[in-house]
Amino acid sequence: MNIQLKDIVSKSILTPGRGLLEEYSHSINPYAGCAFACKYCYVRQLPVSLYREEEWGTWVDIKTNAAELLRKELVKAKKKGPVTLFMSSATDPYQPIEAKTKLTRSLLEVMLDEQPDFLFVQTRSPLVTRDIDLFKQFGDRIRVSMTIETDKEEVRKAFSPSAPPIPARMNALQKITDAGILTQATIAPLLPCSKEFPKKLKNIASRVTLDDYWMGDGGGGKRTEKLGIYQIYEQMGLEKWYNPTAYKVVLKMLKDELDDVNLLISQKGFGPGKN
- Domain assignment present for 241: yes
Domains contained in the chain, number = 1
**Long-range contacts at 78-83 (CB < 8 A, ≥ 24 apart):** 78/114, 78/116, 81/25, 82/25, 82/117, 83/25, 83/26, 83/116, 83/117
- Domain assignment present for 78: yes
Cα radius of gyration rounded to whole Å, the chain: 18
- Domain assignment present for 275: no
Tens digits of per-residue pLDDT, 44-95? 877 777 778 888 899 999 999 999 999 999 999 999 999 999 999 999 999 9
Residue 1 confidence (pLDDT): 64
**Is pTM, for the whole model, over 0.75?**
yes
Which CATH number covers residue 118? 3.80.30.30
- Give phi and psi for 270, each to the nearest 5: -115, 10
Residue 20 confidence (pLDDT): 84
- Domain assignment present for 71: yes
- Domain assignment present for 1: no
- Domain assignment present for 161: yes
Strands (E), the chain: 4-8, 14-16, 26-28, 31-32, 59-63, 84-87, 118-123, 142-147, 183-187, 207-210, 262-265
- Give phi and psi for 195, each to the nearest 5: -70, -20
What is the CA 41 to chain-centroid distance, rounded? 11
- Domain assignment present for 2: no
The domain of 145 spans 7-270
Over residues 219-244, mean pLDDT: 93
Residue 34 confidence (pLDDT): 96
pLDDT at residue 253 is higher than 90: yes
